[in-house]
Amino acid sequence: MRVLLVEDDEMLGDAVKTYVHRQGHAVDWALSCDEAEASLQAAAYDLVLLDLRLPDGSGLDILKALRARRDEMPVIIMTAHDQVSDRIAGLNAGADDYLVKPVDLGELQARIHAVSRRYGTHKLPDLTIAGIGVYPSERRIAARNGAEILLSSREWAVLDRLIARKRAIVSKAQIEEALYAFGAEVESNTVEVYVSRLRRKLGKEAIETVRGVGYRISVDAN
């Protein structure tokens, strides 16, 4: 999953970015409204962690702009203990959840998981690949014998990109967007490694390689 963190407090921002990255997500960090808007224009995100009080404006304006253009990207707002009015305004403007500062990192991860289950993948279809049931919204994969197949966060990030365009070819660069933040060093074989891991778990036929172009979920996926 690719996350945009919008937070001007450098100590808190660094802690949140480091923690979310360690959970296997790609994280871009914006310290202002302008930086956040530029990031939203440049990349597709699965989740926004949004501080409402920024040096050049209000995070509410970012949230309202997203909803005005009918962007349903999940947004979790972050507010101070004594700013109940901010939380109410954020939820009324279309936020999906909120966190109270100082942020508890365990609670942050729980809320990210909850919002992802409810909203982040709700549009992705359930699939059957060679008899294996794939349920993105539940983060669950059931093998033919009923046993559960477990994927890491980064394996799910790759699979989500493929499922979202299951009838189309997904380029290596498009998959890398789900795995890396801006400025991160992209290892040349990362996509190949994760595709190989998914094939070992789901079957060799699950993902088709279109040589020189990219990958797609096997045509036998429903």
> What pLDDT score was predicted for residue 194?
93
The domain that holds 146 is classified in CATH as 1.10.10.10
> What pLDDT score was predicted for residue 114?
81
Q: Which three-class secondary structure state does DSSP give residue 202?
A: helix
What are the residue ranges of helices labelled H in the chain? Answer: 10-22, 33-42, 59-68, 84-93, 105-115, 153-164, 172-179, 190-202
Helix, strand, coil share of the chain (percent; to 5): 45, 25, 35
Domain final residue pick, 120, 138, 154: 120
Q: What percent of the chain has a predicted confidence (pLDDT) above 90?
A: 38
Check whether residue 8 and residue 101 sit in a common domain.
yes
Domain count, the chain: 2
Check whether residue 166 and residue 86 sit in a common domain.
no
- Any domain includes 222: no
Residue-range definition of the domain harbouring residue 78: 2-120
> What pLDDT score was predicted for residue 122?
47
Choose among 69, 8, 77: nearest CA to 40: 69
> What pLDDT score was predicted for residue 220?
54
Q: What is the pTM of this model?
A: 0.68
| Residue 2, C-beta contacts closer than 8 angstroms, at least 6 positions apart | 25, 26, 27, 28, 43, 44, 45, 46, 47, 157, 177, 178, 179, 181
The domain that holds 93 is classified in CATH as 3.40.50.2300
Run means of pLDDT, 10 residues per run, the chain, 222 residues: 92 93 88 95 89 92 92 88 82 90 88 74 66 81 86 88 85 87 75 94 91 82 44
- Any domain includes 76: yes
Check whether residue 113 and residue 147 sit in a common domain.
no
- Any domain includes 72: yes
Domain final residue pick, 105, 120, 135: 120
- Any domain includes 185: yes
